[in-house]
Structure formats: C-alpha cells, structure tokens
Amino acid sequence: MRQKNWKNLPYVTIALAAANVLVFLICQIDGGRLYDLGELDMIRVLGGREYGRLLYSVFLHGNFPHLFNNMVVLVFMGAMIEQDVGHLPYGVIYLLSGLGGSALSLFRKYLLRDMIASIGASGAIFGLDGLLLAIVLLGRSNLPTVTPGRVILMIALSLYSGFSGGNIDNAGHIGGLLTGFAAGVVYCLIRRRKSRPSW
C-alpha cells in the first residue's frame, strides 16, 4: 500500500516547483548573475550560440508575484495531470513545452528585432494546458470532470489575460501551448496503441 501511495505522489511537479523557488531565492542574493546567465536574450542565443538559455529561462522569474502565480497553477494543475499521464511523460512534456515556448518567443524576437529578454515558466505551464486538451480530446482521461469545453475556456481566458496585460511574452505562451498539445497528441496515440489487445 505504501509503495502505491508513493507512486501516486506528484513528485515531478513538486520537484519542478521546488527548483523554481530555489532558483528565485538564489537570484535574490547573487546580484543578478543567474538572470544574466539564463534569460532568453536574442543576441546571446543566436549570436553567442548560448542555446541553453532556451531552457534556463524557463526557471527564472522576475519577482515574487510572477513566481507565485506560475507556481500555483503548476502545483494544482500539474499534480492532476501528472497522476493521469505518469511521471516521466509529464516531466518530458513540461520541459519540451518550455523549450517550444522559448523557441517561438525567440523567433518572434528575431522577426521584430525585439531586444527585450524573456523569463518565466509560463510557456511550460501553457504546455500543460495543451497536454490536458489533447488528453480530453484523444485520450482515455481519468479526469471525468475535465471536459474539452472547460479546457478550451480556460485556455482562452489565459490567452486573453496575456494579450490584455503588459510586458507579457505571448509568443512564449502560444509556443508552449502548441508544443504541449502536439506532444500530448503523440502521447495519447502511443497510449492508445499500447492499450490495444494483442492477437
């Protein structure tokens, strides 16, 4: 019984949230060095080939409200999704979504010659929205109260909030959302194939 309970714990979500909090605390005492090393800066990524920033920036937050808002969504929604899809797929899709969000953000910066650096886990969290949408549309979800209509409404409200606000990297949100949905579709197809009876 204890082993089963341990397996059901959303420890990937807990680890991701803890990592974000730890990085934020370090940023408060290191004089901005982590921000300088990890923010998504177009010149440093494309010109300096510092491609690690595509992922590093996902763990950086500008202030406490920024961190708090992202972590609340991550903990509550992420824990639910992790229990449905499993620890490894969940963690992989979260990180892929973060990378996808950073990639589209970087592409937009390049097109518009936008030199403002970006940080935050929002792209990865929007990827969880996309994953959740794929699950309720294509998968055999263990979340009976989560319907496609509710997920679409949640996504629409989140996107609207981003576009109506200021200083928000909406390209990162959309990139994460699309990446999470695409990865979720692949996951659901694999899960469906594995569930088919063998002859």
Catalytic (active-site) positions: 122, 173
Confidence of residue 196 (pLDDT cuts 50, 70, 90): low
Give the Å distances, CA to CA, from 103 to 88, 96, 163, 171, 174: 22, 10, 19, 9, 11
- Give helix 170-195 / helix 87-112 axis angle, nearest 10°: 150
Backbone torsions φ then ψ of 151, nearest 5 degrees: -65, -45
How high is the pLDDT of residue 4? 52
How high is the pLDDT of residue 89? 96
Closest CA relative to residue 94, chosen from 127, 122, 121, 67: 127
Closest CA relative to residue 120, chosen from 81, 78, 66: 66
Has this prediction a pTM greater than 0.75? yes
- What number is the average pLDDT over the span 133-153? 83
**What pLDDT, in 10s, does the model give residues 167-182?**
899 999 999 999 999 9
For residue 198, pLDDT over 60 is answered with: no
Which domains does the chain carry?
2-192 (1.20.1540.10)
Residue 73, exposed/middle/buried by CB under 10 A (0-12, 13-18, 19+)?
middle
- What number is the average pLDDT over the span 168-197? 90
- What number is the average pLDDT over the span 110-118? 94
